[in-house]
Structure 1
């Protein structure tokens, strides 16, 4: 963020898109100094669809009663530049609630609907951060507004949920033809979501941690891609 400085453009191709229009879009992206990935016209395209999974599993754990700092810490092994709630606070709680509604409306069986996201969208301050900008707690207003459970979820379970959820969603996206190959998704997540490039992208990471096998009984890549420090 902001959009103008992001190095990625998702070029949406619909059934009526002709080759000349597609080539023009790709050329414009190149002249803007952006990397372009062709995607199908599906809810969330690539980056927002997968970030909605990331946000949704974080919201689920919070709603169940997990402290917000524990949820942030649970995501750390993925290597994203920000924890889920730090990122939501940056892009905006209203934006996150809107993306959630879009994805839940399209795929209600796979995306989590959190009413607390809508409550957060009405607050001036949702989280408390330390001097480094990292989320440490919910604000007093959020604690008063949110409806939370009392069962904290262990960090390893939160991490496994988001890993398996991402693996499942990416496999479905490939089956749907949202993009041509897993490498397109990896490029989108590296350039559009800050996924650590040294990990090789999202799909090699999900292969290495066993999420692909757990989710659909196979791997995205054979032979596997090791990544740096893997």
Structure 2
């Protein structure tokens, strides 16, 4: 199977590390939103596992989170860490962002290969690989009552690096050159693109000829004629 690019122990370790760093980002947002400890744990779990659960439900697989206790415990560990040490964790936000970018690169690769293993076409597999990488973050923002970062023009590119990594994997499958080396290259490419986007604040373009702040304020402000 394509998914067995690495030994099971290496694959499991990479998954746990990715889940852990995604969970930290969810837990930190919960702290900023002043959630209680249960809310912190929920947001950590959803951020870490949401993308993988969505992928597994789409392809009809038993969600990995329900087959391995470690997948649940890693976000709980992140919850405890952030609950007690969130000022220190906040100070290492640069490192957290780097690990988050690494998780993004890893999950867009594993998501694409798993989707293809379950019979999806190359395009659908790449899309699901991207969803695996970013789905948890979307659910995190929705639960925190925020517009998902994925949809905000004022946030650095997030989905684009995942799309690039997933597309590279799909092309490697298409030309039968998917190996640990090429899959690692795809993950590293997504990782580096995400780091560059954060460093240089790369953002996707908005609608052509979009009027800037004045138009935005007009859209966001209530219509005076509708006031009672």
TM-score for both structures, normalised by structure 1: 0.30
TM-score for both structures, normalised by structure 2: 0.30
Please state which structure has a larger fraction of its residues in strand.
Answer: 1
Please state which structure has a larger fraction of its residues in helix.
Answer: 2
